[in-house]
Amino acid sequence: MTDERATTRAEHLLPEELPVDPGADPREQAEALLAESDERTAEARGHVAADETVEHRTSEDAAR
């Protein structure tokens, strides 16, 4: 993942994507979001082995 990509994403986090800890680095959150997005994209394109488990949660699920 490029530094520019993570930095740009960190500048545009949605309210539900903001780190819970106000002192946390939003760039770390952005990197995690981008990694998950890349993984889901690869899975959708068939680039992930069928035996790999990818957790699918919504913001609502995570709040529980």
Reported as a single tens digit per residue, the pLDDT across 28-49 is 999 999 999 888 888 878 765 5
Separation of alpha carbons 19 and 60, rounded Å: 15
3-state secondary structure of 17: helix
Own/partner contacts of 35-39, CB < 8 Å, gap of 24 or more, are 35/1, 38/1
What burial class does residue 47 get, using C-beta atoms within 10 Å of its C-beta: 0-12 exposed, 13-18 middle, 19+ buried?
exposed
Report yes or no on 39 lying in a domain.
yes
Query: How many domains does the chain divide into?
Result: 1
Report yes or no on 45 lying in a domain.
yes
Print the domain residue range for 50: 3-13+25-63
Separation of alpha carbons 36 and 34, rounded Å: 5
Report yes or no on 42 lying in a domain.
yes
- The reported pTM is 0.60
Tokens 């998950």 sit at which residue?
36
Mean pLDDT of 9-17: 90
Report yes or no on 20 lying in a domain.
no
Report yes or no on 19 lying in a domain.
no
